[in-house]
């Protein structure tokens, strides 16, 4: 039951991670600060601008991790709603689908202070029982720079602070995650996201403390892929953005890829995010 009620963990990390990864790629070639336009002819300057523009167009700018908490929260006044589902309830029974509905919103400025992202997870979605079980958590996050082109974030994710229905069986949990994003550049043509963390309910089907981590690559502006370790298992996933001005993300993954704990299963997550009003 504990694991069944935690499948929303597969959805929520993808949303802030994706938003935070929408950073402009650095200019290819010589750094802008080193360019002296007065030394270039009109033709050379035009050729340089065309090269820079082509570099921007062919380099993807989005990336995310799937299946692990991220070090980023949502930007201020950005809300999301999402659905996470699996075909193997509690990693045991094939073709026994279970789903969770999640929604939340970001508050505060993670660049200057602490951003707060409250999240409500509805774990009962069967007809006539919608909303009878659920939980509330919150993520506290702060953005920072690793130096160079790497931008990072650290997030404390507090789960199960308020529970009702079947979710009353869950104990409060806490995860601390650190993520870094590197935009595409000449050294490596794909954006990359790395995440590492530790949580109180990660190993042994979510009952023991453990570590987690993941790496994600932006394959294009519409597709990305990631591989993650979550306590007991490897989780692989692919994501696509492309509808509703790319505010819609659809992720498809496989849990326990190596069948290490006899828990191989299909994972599906669909999320939609949008800004409400102007951020401060």
Buried b (16+ CB within 10 A) or exposed e, 91-112: beeeeeebbbbbbbbbbbebee
Mean pLDDT for the stretch of residues 187-195: 89
- The confidence score (pLDDT) of residue 15 equals 42
Residue 216 confidence class, pLDDT cut points 50, 70, 90: very high
Cα distance between residue 147 and residue 30, in whole Å? 19
- The confidence score (pLDDT) of residue 246 equals 67
Helix (H) and strand (E) counts for the chain? Answer: 3, 12
**CA separation, residue 78 to residues 75, 173, 180, 236, 272 (Å):** 6, 25, 21, 27, 10
Cβ distance 167 to 5 under 8 Å?
yes
Of the candidates 255, 234, 263, the one whose C-alpha atom is nearest the C-alpha of residue 93 is: 263
- The confidence score (pLDDT) of residue 241 equals 85
Exposure of 33 by Cβ count < 10 A (0-12 exposed, 13-18 middle, 19+ buried)?
exposed
Cβ distance 117 to 107 under 8 Å?
yes
Over residues 85-136, the pLDDT tens digits come to 988 766 555 566 788 999 999 999 999 999 999 999 998 887 778 889 999 9
Is 247 a residue whose pLDDT tops 80? yes
For the entire predicted model, the pTM comes to: 0.78
Q: Which residues pair with 83 in a beta bridge?
A: 101, 270
Cβ distance 96 to 3 under 8 Å?
no
- The confidence score (pLDDT) of residue 222 equals 86
Higher-pLDDT residue of 24, 198: 198
Cα distance between residue 263 and residue 180, in whole Å? 29
Over residues 6-53, the pLDDT tens digits come to 444 444 444 444 333 444 334 334 444 445 555 666 666 666 666 655
- The confidence score (pLDDT) of residue 45 equals 64
């Amino acid at each position: 039951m504990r694991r069944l009620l935690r499948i929303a963990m597969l959805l929520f990390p993808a949303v802030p991670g994706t938003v935070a990864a929408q950073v402009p790629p650095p200019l290819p070639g010589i750094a802008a600060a080193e360019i002296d336009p007065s030394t270039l002819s009109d033709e050379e300057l035009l050729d340089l601008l065309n090269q820079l523009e082509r570099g921007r167009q062919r380099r993807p700018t989005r990336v995310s991790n799937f299946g692990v908490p991220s070090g980023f929260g949502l930007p201020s006044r950005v809300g999301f709603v999402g659905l996470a589902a699996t075909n193997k309830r509690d990693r045991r029974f094939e073709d026994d689908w279970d789903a969770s509905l999640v929604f939340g919103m970001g508050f505060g400025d993670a660049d200057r202070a602490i951003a707060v992202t409250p999240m409500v997870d509805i774990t009962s979605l069967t007809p006539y029982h919608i909303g009878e079980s659920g939980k509330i958590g919150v993520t506290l996050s702060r953005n920072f720079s690793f130096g160079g082109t790497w931008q990072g974030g650290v997030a404390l994710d507090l789960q199960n602070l308020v529970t009702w229905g079947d979710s009353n069986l869950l104990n409060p949990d806490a995860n601390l995650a650190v993520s870094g994003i590197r935009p595409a550049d000449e050294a490596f043509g794909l954006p990359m996201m790395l995440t590492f963390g530790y949580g109180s309910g990660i190993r042994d089907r979510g009952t023991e403390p453990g570590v987690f981590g993941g790496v994600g690559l932006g394959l294009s502006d519409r597709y990305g892929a990631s591989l993650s370790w979550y306590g007991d298992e490897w989780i692989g996933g692919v994501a696509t953005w492309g509808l509703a001005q790319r505010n819609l993300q659809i992720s498809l993954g496989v849990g326990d890829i190596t069948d290490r704990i006899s828990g191989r299963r299909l994972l599906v997550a669909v999320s939609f995010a949008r800004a409400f009003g102007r951020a401060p």
